[in-house]
């Protein structure tokens, strides 16, 4: 039995699992057969168990961790086992001691087009042209299927592109120059470039900036391999980056603490038409925030941390509105996947003017909470000049 559990674990981890069946119970049992298959529920991978008892079927959905406990407790009574994968079929006979004799044969089944229990959503990247970079980034298998363990990432990428699609409608220029600060391994950067150049046929230049030299080398090699001739990656620090070229769009996803402020400051000074920022940790506000009236709440560290994060992003939005941006706060991905799920979307208004009322509101809120945050200090010369 342990051999079979190890085999199931192996094929689930390498994304080749399709279905398995336990049948022919060794002893008298109400359960005549068990069928297991992968299933996506709200984009999360589970394993659906179908037990045939009498003439009825009963279903339950288990995580992989739950499955590893459930199998030895429920499947030890069966003499026969069949496992179907994308690469091979396995047929096992199990003796009284639980030892399995396993035979392999060529695959007889293929993965279904969708694992979803619900109607499958149509995603922006559900196109044949998206397959090369999805495969290279490890999201898609050789059969053109999104790997079950990568569906959360795939969903996140498509959600990001939906926000981009909505943003660029307000910036009609055909040519865009974009900087992605803190790009990391660049799933989203590659998706952005592919979406704009291949699907929308726009002329773009995208620069990804990150501190990790090995990551940048990987991304440059992949861009070259995919033929993405206007996608570049550079090693560099956000605060020290300079350019004499106009920047139409600045992206900063999960930059830590005041690195987000450094990205916003650059975007504001460049007059970037679009800003998309997903802030990460908010240590600065956490160390400063204070208000006697709120002390019954702020004395609890976990509440203080969450309030500090929300206040920081709210005040960032207020600064952006002060200097001429229309700002929306958007849920980036489901809260179940990460608490860092707020995206700041800022679009530069046409013929904008400095909003002194918005800046006074920012100052009043900061004073009330004893905050002296970095973004306003970084823009001190610009803000004070207008007051």
Q: Do 337 and 213 share a structural domain?
A: yes
The answer on 264 and 141 residing in a single domain is yes
β-partners of residue 31 are 53
Q: Is residue 265 part of a domain?
A: yes
Query: What is the rounded average pLDDT of the residues 39-52?
Result: 80
For residues 192 and 300, membership in a common domain is answered with yes
The residue out of 105, 120, 148 marking a domain boundary is 105
E strand spans, 226-282: 231-235, 249-253, 274-278
pLDDT at 374 over 90: yes
Query: Is the same domain home to 88 and 142?
Result: no
Tell whether 190 and 322 lie within a shared domain. Answer: yes
Same domain, 89 and 167: no
In this structure, is residue 329 part of a structural domain?
yes
Cα-based distances in Å from 55 to 44, 89, 143, 205, 307:
30, 28, 36, 62, 55
Pairing of strands 78-85, 44-53: unpaired
Residues 78 and 141 in one domain: no
The verdict on pTM exceeding 0.75 is no
pLDDT, tens digit, 9 for 90 and up, residues 220-229? 999 999 999 9
Structural domain for 24, as ranges: 2-105
Rounded CA gap, 344 and 371, in Å? 20
Same domain, 12 and 69: yes
Contact 362, 315 (CB under 8 A): yes
Q: What is the CATH number of the domain that holds 322?
A: 3.40.50.150
Are 252 and 143 part of one and the same domain? yes
* In a domain? residue 54: yes
Question: Has residue 119 been placed in a domain?
Answer: no
The answer to which of 11-15, 357-361, 363-367 has the lowest mean pLDDT is: 11-15
pLDDT for 119: 47
Predicted confidence at residue 333, as pLDDT, reads 64
Pick the last residue of a domain from 105, 120, 139.
Answer: 105
Predicted confidence at residue 179, as pLDDT, reads 95
Q: Calculate the CA dihedral of residues 146, 150, 156, 157 and round it to 10 degrees.
A: -50
In a domain, residue 116? The reply is no
Measured over the CA atoms of residue 96, residue 98, residue 103 and residue 105, the dihedral's sign is positive
Per cent of the chain over pLDDT 70 is 93
Residue tagged 């096992």 (tokens): 92
Residue 117 domain-assigned? no
Write phi, then psi, for 121 (nearest 5 degrees). Answer: -75, 145
Strands, sheet with 89-94, edge to edge from the N-terminal-most edge strand: 56-62, 44-53, 31-41, 17-25, 78-85, 89-94, 100-105
What is the number of domains present in the chain? 2
Write the pLDDT tens digit of every residue in 139-179: 888 888 888 888 888 888 998 999 998 888 777 677 899 99
The DSSP secondary structure of 77-113, one letter per residue, reads TEEEEEEEESS-EEEEEE-TTS-EEEEEE-------S
List the one residue out of 50, 35, 40 whose CA is nearest residue 15.
40
Q: Which residues pair with 208 in a beta bridge?
A: 180, 233
Q: What tens digit of pLDDT does each residue of 310-336 get?
A: 999 999 999 999 999 999 999 876 444
Asked whether residue 122 is domain-assigned, the answer is no
Query: 48 and 138 in one domain?
Result: no
Mean predicted lDDT score pLDDT of the chain? 86
Residue recorded with tokens 């199931």: 8
15 and 156 share one domain: no
CA separation for the pair 44, 41 (Å, rounded): 5
What are the DSSP E strand ranges found in 86-220? 89-94, 100-105, 175-181, 203-210
Q: What is the pLDDT of residue 144?
A: 83
pLDDT band at 338 (very low <50, low <70, confident <90, very high): very low
Does 167 fall in a domain?
Answer: yes
| Among 256-270, 335-349, 362-376, the least confident range | 335-349
Q: Does residue 209 share a domain with residue 324?
A: yes
Segment 95-111, tens digit of pLDDT: 877 777 888 888 887 77
Evaluate the CA torsion angle 120, 123, 129, 133 in order and state its sign.
negative
What is the torsional sign of CA 86, 87, 93, 97?
A: negative
Domain boundary among 38, 70, 105: 105
- What pLDDT is attached to residue 116? 52
pLDDT (tens digit, 9 = 90+) per residue, 169-222?
Answer: 777 677 899 999 988 877 899 999 999 998 888 899 999 999 999 999 999 999
């Amino acid at each position: 039995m342990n051999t079979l559990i190890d085999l199931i674990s192996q094929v689930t981890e390498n994304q080749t699992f399709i279905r398995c069946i336990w049948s022919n119970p060794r002893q008298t049992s109400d359960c005549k057969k068990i069928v297991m298959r992968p299933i996506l529920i709200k984009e999360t991978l589970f394993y659906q168990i179908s037990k045939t008892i009498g003439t009825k079927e009963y279903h339950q959905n288990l995580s992989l961790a739950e499955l590893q406990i459930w199998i030895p407790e429920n499947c030890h009574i069966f003499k026969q086992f069949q496992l179907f994968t994308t690469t091979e079929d396995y047929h096992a006979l199990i003796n009284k001691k639980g030892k399995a004799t396993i035979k392999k044969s060529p695959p007889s089944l293929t993965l279904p087009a969708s694992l979803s229990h619900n109607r499958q959503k149509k995603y922006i990247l559900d196109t044949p042209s998206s397959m090369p970079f999805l495969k290279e980034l490890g999201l898609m298998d050789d059969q053109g299927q999104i790997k079950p363990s990568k569906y959360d990432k795939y969903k996140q990428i498509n959600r990001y592109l939906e926000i981009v699609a909505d943003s660029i409608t307000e910036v009609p220029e055909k040519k865009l120059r974009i900087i992605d600060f803190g790009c990391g391994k660049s799933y989203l950067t590659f998706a952005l470039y592919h979406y704009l150049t291949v699907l929308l046929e726009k002329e773009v230049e995208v620069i990804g900036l990150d501190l990790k030299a090995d990551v940048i080398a990987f991304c440059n090699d992949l861009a070259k391999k995919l033929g993405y001739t206007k996608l570049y990656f550079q090693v560099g620090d956000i605060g020290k980056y300079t350019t004499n070229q106009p920047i139409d769009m600045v992206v900063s996803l999960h930059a830590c603490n005041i690195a987000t402020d450094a990205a916003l400051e650059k975007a504001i000074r460049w007059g970037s038409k679009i800003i998309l920022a997903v802030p990460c940790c908010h240590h600065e506000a956490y160390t400063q925030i204070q208000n006697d009236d709120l002390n019954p709440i702020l004395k609890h560290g976990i509440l203080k941390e969450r309030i500090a994060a929300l206040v920081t992003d709210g005040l960032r939005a207020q600064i952006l509105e002060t200097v001429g941006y229309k700002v929306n706060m958007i849920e980036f991905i489901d809260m179940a996947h990460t608490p860092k799920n707020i995206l700041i979307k800022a679009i530069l208004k046409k013929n904008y003017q400095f909003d002194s009322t918005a800046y006074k509101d920012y100052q009043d809120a900061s004073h009330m909470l004893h905050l002296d945050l970095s973004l306003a200090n970084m823009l001190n010369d610009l803000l004070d000049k207008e007051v």
